[in-house]
């Protein structure tokens, strides 16, 4: 767990000394499939169906995670006096920023879209960079709750590493449900009048 934190901090230091116009984002799409292939390979021995049967309560996990995120976003908007709809849209994206950001930008403008984008990028980064701390503070499930829709791809490797193999099926189900559900929730919130 310490290894990942150190790797991130060393990377951060290296990044600070590199030229600012250097673009390394093209590396992520190259590494990610390899990483996920590796996760899949070790998953081959896990009984996914059996895991779901034994942990049926985890089917409620993505729903409660989404509800919690929405309710707390609403409380945040009320306390800070912000536009509730825009804050709830940003909070309900659950780490899924590409499509929801475009949907929100189209309807409410670039600022609302950027708020959604950056909020959910922070959320995704939090899982990858703070997984050991989150696990220690709130338990192993917390990284899946924070990761939201990213738990079936980007953050799956970190979840496997930090929480262990038994949490991989839960993370995949959670990510799958939210990846499919979030665009519908976003379009529902966009069209709701509140």
Partner 1 sequence: MLTVIIALLVGAILGRFANSQVLKTNDFAFTLLSTLFVFIMGVSLGLCRSIFSGIGEMLFNSLSLAIVASLGSIILTRLLNKLTVK
| Cβ atoms of 158 and 128 closer than 8 Å | yes
Compare residues 67 and 188 and give the one whose CB is closer to partner 1: 67
- How big is the site for partner 1, counted in residues (CB under 8 A)? 85
Stretch that binds partner 1, among 102-110, 138-146, 184-192 (CB under 8 A): 138-146
Four-CA torsion 110, 187, 98, 68, nearest 10 degrees: 100
Q: Least CB distance from residue 169 to partner 1, whole Å?
A: 11
d(CA 30, CA 35): 9
**Binding to partner 1 by residue 141, rule CB under 8 A?**
yes
State the helix-helix crossing angle for 156-163 and 168-191, rounded to 10 degrees: 140
Judged by DSSP in three states, 170 sits in helix
Candidate residues 33, 50, 109, 164; the one interacting with partner 1 per rule CB under 8 A: 33
**Binding to partner 1 by residue 150, rule CB under 8 A?**
no
Instruction: Tell me 57's DSSP state.
Output: G
d(CA 92, CA 100): 9
Binding to partner 1 in span 88-117, by CB under 8 A:
90-91, 94, 111, 114-115
**Binding to partner 1 by residue 85, rule CB under 8 A?**
no
Buried b (16+ CB within 10 A) or exposed e, 12-36: eeeeeeeeeeeeeeeeeeeeeeebb
Stretch that binds partner 1, among 101-109, 144-152, 183-191 (CB under 8 A): 144-152
**Binding to partner 1 by residue 78, rule CB under 8 A?**
no
**Binding to partner 1 by residue 27, rule CB under 8 A?**
yes
**Binding to partner 1 by residue 1, rule CB under 8 A?**
no
């Amino acid at each position: 767990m310490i290894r990942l934190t150190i790797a991130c901090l060393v990377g951060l230091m290296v990044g600070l000394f590199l030229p600012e116009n250097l673009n390394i984002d093209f590396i992520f799409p190259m590494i990610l499939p390899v990483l996920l292939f590796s996760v899949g390979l070790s998953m081959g021995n896990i009984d996914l169906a059996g895991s779901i049967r034994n942990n049926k309560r985890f089917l409620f996990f993505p729903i409660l995670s989404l509800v919690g995120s929405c309710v707390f976003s609403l409380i945040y908007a009320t306390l800070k006096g912000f536009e509730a709809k825009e804050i709830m849209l940003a909070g309900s994206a659950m780490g899924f920023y590409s499509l929801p950001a475009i949907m929100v930008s189209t309807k409410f403008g670039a600022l609302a879209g950027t708020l959604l984008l950056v909020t959910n990028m922070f959320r995704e980064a939090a899982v990858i960079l703070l997984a050991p701390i989150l696990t220690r503070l709130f338990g192993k499930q917390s990284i899946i709750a924070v990761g939201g829709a990213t738990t079936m791809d980007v953050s799956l490797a970190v979840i496997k590493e930090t929480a262990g193999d038994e949490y991989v099926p839960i993370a995949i189900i959670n990510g799958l449900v939210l990846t499919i559900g979030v665009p519908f929730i976003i379009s529902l919130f966009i069209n709701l009048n509140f």
